[in-house]
Structure 1
């Protein structure tokens, strides 16, 4: 008997989820945002349509608020699922109320409405669970909502718009990007895929894995890809040991000031055979960075004609007018694995290394390649 009880308790506790990854500060942020959004939605809806209608329709809005503020990066919480599911549930709910089907029982009417909403959400790719809840609310509260007729769609969509407005404003003000957007960087304007996607798994591999799973995954495709790549980076960091920026950086670096002219910078490029120069102030703090491409971009002459007057003016320009700012930097303890995507995906050729906001070195693509080569030799030895 005790063995069966122990087995049952283990199975029961096995249903418990793992610890939530979010920190307590995020709990407070999300809870506050959800509460404010629900209050705001009720207030606006009650002003325009009365407190009774606002209260009836508020339940699904509360469920949507959980998704929009707690799991705002999820696929279910993006704007189209919210708008699409609410519109679909409103149209089907209104149809269920007003179609001449008096012989249908309440349960049958609700079954048909919910089934249609779920099928519609799947077909239109706007899966949002509170949408089906909205349909249930409409059918159950039919006597109270029927006077609105087809105009019932308006307060429902008002709730969706209020929630999205609050989620966009609050999430972005509190450091959470919403809506979720997959950054696609095409630095060279070519058809080539990003460097990190040329080795390892590809988008086609990810598509095949999702198709093989065969069920809906509440995570955006970009987030899933990012999780896998972060896992790969973590494993690579463990295998490569403790290779930091301070070990591979160049320390005897050449810098220029904000008032250095283009003519003087060209002389330094030629003399030191470098492609980039950090622009620092008198205190050694990085103000920007200047590269050969920055200089060439300033010419931008039509039909390839070089006008002497234009070139002379260009040569006398101070660098603070044309330098790139702000600058992507690292500190001396940054791991080489964290620098690789900066030098590949973002198209950077070098990374200034800072200590106490002052430049102490420079890591170039050549430095990283040499470090990777040395690590490979060590593993093969």
Structure 2
């Protein structure tokens, strides 16, 4: 079997050596980033001008402009996070100031300052490309900045703090979470000692090795890569199964119980019908919860099996033990969205709703059958 798959993109979506690759950016996001970068740069330069004068603000405008692009156009990148800009600016300013004090304000000293700044940022895990421009500006500064001596760090950090503050406010007000927060992780394996993995079987260690395999710095975290792979898997699943929806594969013959149904009756129904899940609905067939074998088993465990051995006519209502926080899907939900819910979260069945009414259940068996039919249809 050939393990290497070659994918051809339409000509309109392929990059070129001269024009670069395609940027998957919505025009609205371009406008948002453009306005944010302009506002952030204007505020930082204005504050620096008020405190240190126009000459100093003008000398440092270059790195601030470069940082504005990162913080507003690609705020999810590792190079645009708060520690990157604060640590990058501070490290570069300190290194450049020391180099200038010891070796003077010359081009060779500026090159040395940039190299040492890059090394220091790598070691401190605060790599920020405009930090190199900060080092150049400090070493090759004009008289206004040179007059500050070692205090040249102050206007540099004022720019960093004001630009970062603007980025936090603007990005969040325009619907983009910044700083980036780690995405909540879902344990893909029921066992407590197992390693989280994607549905493809890729583990976090695999992601780390993939990132290390690039051989250089990649502005992509393990979490970013994991989310990218997961979304690609979901898109591929939707493509393979086509337009199949939950309503197309769900079980319509339902065994429903009410919140007043007793635990004993629910247990008898589960056993008689060989079921694992019983939906609990009100008089209008609106879903209010589910009762599973796990719920009933917990009751049996708490009562040390008295429910079965000593109290066969237990009248406890299922409303006291049912799971009220239920994961449900709409009848129009594509089948690709059901796969991670049933395969990775350990759910045995997904209630299907039409509005707020329960109309069916999608079980793991339903899903497996649908996927098998879809894959066999493709091969045919």
TM-score scaled by structure 1? 0.74
Q: Matched residues in 2 for 1:186 and 1:207: separation?
A: 18
Q: Matched residues in 1 for 2:212 and 2:110: separation?
A: 32
Gap change, CA 1:13 and 1:370, over 3 Å in 2: closer
| Alignment partner, residue 228 of structure 1 | 229
| Alignment partner, residue 312 of structure 2 | none
- Retained in 1: the 8 A contact 2:138–2:152? no
| Alignment partner, residue 311 of structure 1 | none
Matched, 1:59 2:58: no
| Alignment partner, residue 195 of structure 2 | 193
CA offsets per residue over residues 322-347 of structure 1, 9 Å max, x none? Answer: 8544x544333333222111223344
Gap change, CA 1:47 and 1:365, over 3 Å in 2: farther
Q: Quote the offset at 1:244 in angstroms.
A: 2.4
Structure 2, gaps ≥5 residues long: 1-14, 306-315
| Alignment partner, residue 172 of structure 2 | 172
SS at match of 1:183: coil
Where does 1:215-254 land on structure 2 (aligned, <5 Å)? 215-253=216-254
Q: Matched residues in 1 for 2:250 and 2:60: separation?
A: 61
Gap change, CA 1:80 and 1:268, over 3 Å in 2: same
Q: Quote the offset at 1:113 in angstroms.
A: 0.6
Gap change, CA 1:235 and 1:189, over 3 Å in 2: closer
Gap change, CA 1:271 and 1:109, over 3 Å in 2: same
Q: Matched residues in 1 for 2:54 and 2:291: separation?
A: 61
CA offsets per residue over residues 218-237 of structure 1, 9 Å max, x none? Answer: 22232233333433443343
Structure 1, gaps ≥5 residues long: 1-11, 307-314
Q: Quote the offset at 1:168 in angstroms.
A: 3.1
Q: Matched residues in 1 for 2:166 and 2:280: separation?
A: 41
TM-score scaled by structure 2? 0.74
Alignment root-mean-square deviation, CA: 4.0
- Retained in 2: the 8 A contact 1:196–1:341? no
Q: Matched residues in 2 for 1:298 and 1:146: separation?
A: 76
Gap change, CA 1:363 and 1:162, over 3 Å in 2: farther
Gap change, CA 1:290 and 1:29, over 3 Å in 2: farther
Equivalences, count: 354
Matched, 1:95 2:98: yes
SS at match of 1:363: strand
Gap change, CA 1:46 and 1:226, over 3 Å in 2: same
Matched, 1:146 2:146: yes
- Retained in 2: the 8 A contact 1:89–1:134? yes
- Retained in 2: the 8 A contact 1:38–1:62? yes
Q: Matched residues in 1 for 2:371 and 2:184: separation?
A: 27
| Alignment partner, residue 39 of structure 2 | 36
Q: Matched residues in 2 for 1:161 and 1:231: separation?
A: 37
Q: Matched residues in 2 for 1:215 and 1:336: separation?
A: 39
- Retained in 1: the 8 A contact 2:277–2:293? yes
| Alignment partner, residue 333 of structure 1 | 332
Where does 1:107-146 land on structure 2 (aligned, <5 Å)? 107-146=107-146
- Retained in 2: the 8 A contact 1:57–1:134? yes
Matched, 1:20 2:19: no
| Alignment partner, residue 362 of structure 1 | 361
Gap change, CA 1:359 and 1:52, over 3 Å in 2: farther
- Retained in 2: the 8 A contact 1:298–1:322? no
The structure richer in helix per residue is 1
| Alignment partner, residue 7 of structure 1 | none
Q: Quote the offset at 1:65 in angstroms.
A: 1.8
Which sits farther off after the overlay, 186-195 or 289-298?
Answer: 289-298
SS at match of 2:198: helix
